[in-house]
Copies of this chain bind each other. A is one copy, B any other.
Amino acid sequence: MKVNKDLLEKVDFEKGNGLVPVVVQDIDTKVVLMLAYANKEALMKTIETGFAHYYSRSRRKIWKKGETSGNVQRIVKILLDCDEDTLLYLVKQKGVACHTGEYSCFFRTVAEFEDE
């Protein structure tokens, strides 16, 4: 496991009151699975263990994805965006990502355009 410590220090948790949004993408299928939030502790646990951890805003605590369901996310790569306030986790998803039983949390279409 390789960590870019300088870049890790730059993650801006202040802008979001201690949290950054985390986009989660399946590295094999390239499907966007979910969006969650991480505080610094969740990010550090993710890096230390190699499994995705997030911060639950409703339960106000760190959680390991798949802790009860078994649908864990093994981290392959963590990227930081240009503004340094959003993370992208590229993961190996075990089972499904969504608590509804769907593979991705984005399974409903609001609008669709014809390809021109």
Contact = CB atoms under 8 A, between A and B. Distances in A.
How many copies of the polypeptide does the oligomer hold? 2
A59 to B, nearest CB: 13
Interface residues of A, number: 45
A66 interface: no
Contacts of A82: 98-100, 102, 105, 107
Given A4-B108, A77-B111, A78-B111, 5 more contacts: A2-B111, A4-B110, A4-B111, A30-B30, A83-B105
Interface of A: 1-4, 7-8, 11, 21, 23, 25, 30-32, 34-35, 47, 50, 74-83, 86-88, 98-100, 102, 105-115
